[in-house]
Chains A and B, each alone.
Chain A
Amino acid sequence: AQTVTQSQPEMSVQEAETVTLSCTYDTSESDYYLFWYKQPPSRQMILVIRQEAYKQQNATENRFSVNFQKAAKSFSLKISDSQLGDAAMYFCAYSPQAAGNKLTFGGGTRVLVKP
């Protein structure tokens, strides 16, 4: 069974600084997708960024970027120029291409942003 592990329960960052969230996953599949979702206090799940495993290039969306290491099964999220609105729970998620409706989530990392 696939598992997703986020080893940092909580991370704190100063406004305008950079923070990196860790995620590792376990799978025997070769084709899959990885996601980072943000969940603010409103509890809405918001897609931050996604990565296709077949792509070597790391995905980037504005201030958010990932470091995807397929051999190491690692998928970290970097938030640059942190803003107060970035404060939320962040979840790493995995979906195999063969069963694309089955998202497996990590336990989440709470990000606190200090003004």
Chain B
Amino acid sequence: NAGVTQTPKFQVLKTGQSMTLQCAQDMNHEYMSWYRQDPGMGLRLIHYSVGAGITDQGEVPNGYNVSRSTTEDFPLRLLSAAPSQTSVYFCATRTSGSYTQYFGPGTRLTVL
């Protein structure tokens, strides 16, 4: 099992560009989440999903879009990147039977 995978590992964007961060899991977990980690801080929740077709906003959702068409995938879309979105992005999953979240390796995004 690969667990939680994220692509790409690194990305540099120019202001105004769009891109999608990919998250995939092979553990059949119902719950998936996206977090961002800014320098010297803990992670903050962007969006989450409790199952295919169901998403909701977290603490810092502005500027990000999500959808969940399958159990395995939960992409995060930046429609018009801004320098304030420079951060490390983590995807996490958990099963409905446990409150422990398991994290992917992260994507470091720089917006110039």
A106 and B103 in contact, given A45-B90, A101-B31 (Cβ under 8 angstroms): no
Which chain B residues in 18-64 approach chain A with CB under 8 Å?
Answer: 31, 33, 35, 40-45, 48, 50, 58-59
Cβ–Cβ contact A102 & B42, under 8 A? no
Interface size of A by CB at 8 A reads: 23
Could you say which of A45, A50, A105 has the most chain B C-beta atoms within 10 Å of its C-beta? A45
Instruction: State whether A105 touches B33 (Cβ < 8 A).
Output: no
A-B pair count, CB < 8 Å, reads 59
Residues of B within 8 A of A50 (CB): 99-100
Shortest B66–chain A CB gap in Å is 13
A-B contact pairs, 21 of them (CB 8 A): A42-B105, A43-B105, A44-B106, A45-B90, A45-B92, A45-B103, A91-B42, A95-B101, A100-B31, A100-B94, A100-B99, A101-B33, A101-B45, A102-B58, A103-B33, A103-B35, A103-B101, A107-B40, A107-B41, A107-B42, A108-B42
Which B residues have a C-beta under 8 Å from some C-beta of A? 31, 33, 35, 40-45, 48, 50, 58-59, 88, 90, 92, 94, 99-103, 105-106, 108
